[in-house]
Structure 1
Amino acid sequence: MPQRQSSGSLSRRTFLQAAGTAAAAFPLVSPAWIKAAEAPSERIRVAFIGTGNQGMLLLRNFLKFDLGDVVAVCDVNQGSYGYKEESHFYGREPAQQLVNEHYTKNRTKGTWKSCQAFTDFRDVLALPDVDAVFLVVPDHWHAAMTLLAAAAGKNIYCEKPASLHVVEGREMVNAVRKHKVLFQVGSHERSNPVSQFICEAVQAGRIGEVKKVITKVGYNNKVGPGPGWKPMPVPSTFDYETWLGPAPEAPYHVDRCLYRFRFNYDYSGGQITNFGAHCNDMAQWALGLDQSGPVEVECLDAKFLPEGSLFNTATETRFRCKYANGLELLCESGPEQVQVRFEGTDGWLQTGYKGTTASSPNLLEGLPQKNGTDGLDPHSRHMRAFVTSVKAGKEPAANVEVGHSSATLCHLANVAIRQFPKTGPGHVLKWDPKAERFSNDDDANAMLDVKWREPWQSVRG
């Protein structure tokens, strides 16, 4: 099997020390987008950090539509089965093989030579010829990787949700703006022609004044071990310590990692941040509130697994958000057919994975296909939008503020949901979108952030 390669140009210790004082360490680094803007016809060189379930999907599509040169891949897993589907064999070596085989067969332009494979993402950030990184890793890694990538002058495509906690999301915004790099969150509905049509129709007033918005998040699609579960030996091909990274120390279990990370609050926010990062993003987008947020959040219902289960995110939930203009958003667990429904004074529109419907056929006149006229699926179109932004040096539509706002809505909901077993319904959290603080609950404010394990906490400065 191919061995891990390292650039050797910057040690991990040195990188962490530098990142802790990023302004001093990287004052003269020219952001890659500035260089790209000078020659927009050049192919950008990218690295994929995280080559699991979603990472391999994006990587395949990036190669299929020839969006640039993949020069490096990175993952803490050398290669294994056991992702979303047991038959999927993913990791850094399968990804490296995929890239090398693709370019060997299909290379027609550019100067690409070979794809390097790394275990540690800091080795990737030390590569001088990488214009952009795709961060397709568990949510608890998004902030730390973004802070370091921004300090290294790399443009960033970060999977949704942008962050794991509100405070670190704001730090991501600050780092991206400070170092003048481009950031696009992976909310690919922003590049779905159908979703664009629906949101633009609502903005244009085609259903009149919006009175209510309903969003749906799917039920949990995996089952983990219950109380009394036992730790498992760490596979020799898996760097579990690095996988944990800034998260709390915890014994290894196969269901803690890979695809199933999303069902543990140490690494993700359950289906609220998984599906919710799409549907709630669409809601705020259509309402023109995608760089703001609600003023009230209330959990109406929540169900959890028994205490001591490995999975601890809510299995079912309903919550409501109220905005300063009086409009309410209701989000609830349910079948995945519907993502978002807008109800107005002159009709309603709804869209989801099973199609788009409306109160009147004329509301759907001009509805495009989700793969458009060029055949690109929303994931690929979203990546192409990012590449185009990097080449032109222009801000992407799903920028860092948008990603932070949509993630924040989901995080506020999870704060209320996690309090629900103690508070029950009727406990309304008052939120200040500008201060990014609750005005009536200090316990809730304490849940807006978490201290990272060292050495990662020092990355935050």
Structure 2
Amino acid sequence: MQNPAKDNSQRQADSTLNRRSFLKDSALKSSALAAAAATPYFVPSSAFGANAPSNRVTMACIGVGNQGFPVMQRFLGYDDCQVLAVCDVNKGSNGYKEEKHYYGREPAKQEVEKHYGKQRESGTYKGCDAYNDFREILERKDIDTVVIVTPDHWHSEMTIRAAEAGKDIYCEKPLGLTITEQQAMIEAVRKNNRVCQTGSHERSNPNVMKMIELVQSGAIGDVKRVICNIGRHNKVGPGPGWKEMPVPEGFDYDMWLGPAPHAPFHEDRCLYRFRFNSDYAGGQVTNFGAHSLDMAQWGLGMDKSGPVKVKHVFAEYLPEGSLYNAPTFAHFEAEYANGVQLVCRTAEPSVRCQFEGTDGIVRIENQGRNFATIPYSIKEKRYGSDVPEVYKSNDDHQRNFIDCVKSRDEPAAPIEVGHRSATVCHLGNIAIRLKKELNWNPESEQFVGNDAATALMSRPARKTWQA
């Protein structure tokens, strides 16, 4: 099979060697500088100061659709980060979250080159490569980091391979499709000493930080209950009797499926709408829930643990045979070892997360734009000089990732934190699916006395993608 990644990597190596090798091998400096005029990657360092190419974090963005495209744009805004490549199974099309949205690898490539072109006297830049297969990106030695913003069923495969290839990783929430996958992701990241930021960006929200500080400082007294709201499905797929559709030109459907079971193509299966089919995601429980339940875990000090019980309360589905089979309405409850009750339910997500204590209430409103307290006086309280401040992640979740790639510090939402928060989502979905109350051991990460629940902690991959 032709390997464009090797061709591109070799081309760069011939003219500039490797960005890091150039710094280490003084004998090659003259040839590298001679090539600078012909390549966008090397120009005299004095022209950039602290943001010289040798100090930049190089990046590839895998998945540049509804969420991945704006995440890529935010990384483009940092002068010490250089996007060298993009990857998507879709060449380019409309029809993501909204019909007018036009995303994919070619639009992303154009966006990158337009952005960097504005910084050059010529007004043009041709230094971004576009790929259909993420494995070709992982073979490039000149790429330090990868940003994974794909459907959930791809997260573990890509993260594990990226860690093994020596890349640092920004992986969108929820961390993985299953609990077992997430455990394997942690093992790969730690074994290979990688930085991995989970895209739980509310951890970089100043309003959320303030809420967590109030909870952990005792401003609302002893926490008794946490309510986490998740939104309803915002797309309606075809019902029973839906028909297979032809795969659009420029869309690699088999690659899109990857480790998921083979299934006939329908336009409502892919792009933004993947969230509502359990082969690829966990509905709004793992979408909105990955944020609201993450806030609950953080506030309760459970970043390294989780609940001990979870139970199904209510769930509603589309008619059997519909393309979308994740719950359209979900309600589950959980309990922690200290007696705190957790409620996760489908409701208007204007209130994402609410902590209820013996002395008051604090909550995040307006989808994270502000927080409120009852009574109001709690808002300015902070008890105890010995209460540590929560992790402050600069001014942006993406900025925090770049800083940690450089410093090798832990990011705001390291992989273990993303795992624990997503695990609560998965526990809820498993309880809903079985319509049971389940006992969970957060230390061993195993269900107690329920083989059916244990079986749902993992899913077999399509043989094409089995290791």
CA contact (8 A) 1:5 1:117 kept: no
1:353 is displaced (CA, Å) by 2.6
Segment of structure 1 superposing worse, 335-344 or 436-445: 436-445
Q: Does 1:43 align with 2:60?
A: no
Q: CA RMSD in A?
A: 2.4
CA contact (8 A) 1:160 1:187 kept: yes
SS at match of 2:101: coil
CA contact (8 A) 1:211 1:345 kept: yes
CA distance in 2 between partners of 1:91 and 1:415 (Å):
33
Letter in 1 for 2:5: S
CA contact (8 A) 1:212 1:343 kept: yes
* Matches for 1:278-289 after TM superposition, within 5 Å: 278-289=291-302
Segment of structure 1 superposing worse, 92-101 or 196-205: 196-205
Match of 1:359 in 2: 374
TM-score normalised by structure 2 residue count? 0.85
CA contact (8 A) 1:65 1:380 kept: no
- Residue-by-residue CA offset, 1:220-241 (whole Å, 9 max, x unaligned): 1000000000000011210000
SS at match of 1:57: helix
Match of 1:440 in 2: 449
Q: Does 1:236 align with 2:249?
A: yes
Q: Percent identity?
A: 52
CA distance in 1 between partners of 2:340 and 2:221 (Å):
14
Unaligned runs of 5+ in 2: 9-19, 25-48, 383-392
Structure with bigger RCO (C-alpha 8 Å, 6+ apart): 1
Match of 2:422 in 1: 407
1:66 is displaced (CA, Å) by 3.8
CA distance in 2 between partners of 1:231 and 1:335 (Å):
33
SS at match of 2:232: coil
Q: For 2:91, which of 75, 78, 81 is the aligned residue?
A: 78
Match of 2:405 in 1: 390
Q: Does 1:152 align with 2:144?
A: no
1:362 is displaced (CA, Å) by 2.3
SS at match of 2:117: helix
* Matches for 1:16-27 after TM superposition, within 5 Å: none
CA contact (8 A) 1:143 1:172 kept: yes
Match of 2:339 in 1: 326
Match of 2:390 in 1: none
CA contact (8 A) 1:126 1:152 kept: yes
* Matches for 1:124-273 after TM superposition, within 5 Å: 124-273=137-286
1:40 is displaced (CA, Å) by 9.1
CA contact (8 A) 1:62 1:380 kept: no
CA contact (8 A) 1:302 1:316 kept: yes
1:310 is displaced (CA, Å) by 0.2
1:170 is displaced (CA, Å) by 0.3
Letter in 2 for 1:448: M
- Residue-by-residue CA offset, 1:366-413 (whole Å, 9 max, x unaligned): 99xxxxxxxxxx997000000000011111120010011011110010
Match of 2:432 in 1: 417
CA contact (8 A) 1:40 1:391 kept: no
CA distance in 1 between partners of 2:120 and 2:399 (Å):
19
After superposition, the Cα gap between the structure-2 partners of 1:366 and 1:77, relative to the gap in structure 1 and judged at 3 Å, is: farther
Question: Which has more radius of gyration?
Answer: 2
SS at match of 2:463: coil
SS at match of 2:248: coil
CA distance in 1 between partners of 2:326 and 2:319 (Å):
11
Letter in 1 for 2:222: E
CA distance in 2 between partners of 1:130 and 1:444 (Å):
40
CA contact (8 A) 1:188 1:379 kept: no
Q: For 2:77, which of 42, 55, 64 is the aligned residue?
A: 64
CA distance in 2 between partners of 1:66 and 1:333 (Å):
41
1:357 is displaced (CA, Å) by 1.4
CA contact (8 A) 2:57 2:81 kept: yes
After superposition, the Cα gap between the structure-2 partners of 1:205 and 1:366, relative to the gap in structure 1 and judged at 3 Å, is: closer
Match of 2:27 in 1: none
- Residue-by-residue CA offset, 1:223-263 (whole Å, 9 max, x unaligned): 00000000000112100000000000000000000000000
After superposition, the Cα gap between the structure-2 partners of 1:272 and 1:323, relative to the gap in structure 1 and judged at 3 Å, is: same
CA distance in 2 between partners of 1:60 and 1:251 (Å):
33
Q: Does 1:450 align with 2:459?
A: yes
Q: For 2:105, which of 92, 105, 120 is the aligned residue?
A: 92
Match of 1:8 in 2: 6
Match of 1:23 in 2: none
CA contact (8 A) 1:58 1:379 kept: no
After superposition, the Cα gap between the structure-2 partners of 1:438 and 1:240, relative to the gap in structure 1 and judged at 3 Å, is: same
1:326 is displaced (CA, Å) by 1.1
CA contact (8 A) 1:40 1:392 kept: no
Letter in 1 for 2:233: N
Q: For 1:295, which of 303, 308, 311 is the aligned residue?
A: 308
CA distance in 2 between partners of 1:212 and 1:342 (Å):
6
Letter in 2 for 1:85: E
SS at match of 1:255: coil
1:5 is displaced (CA, Å) by 8.2
CA contact (8 A) 1:58 1:380 kept: no
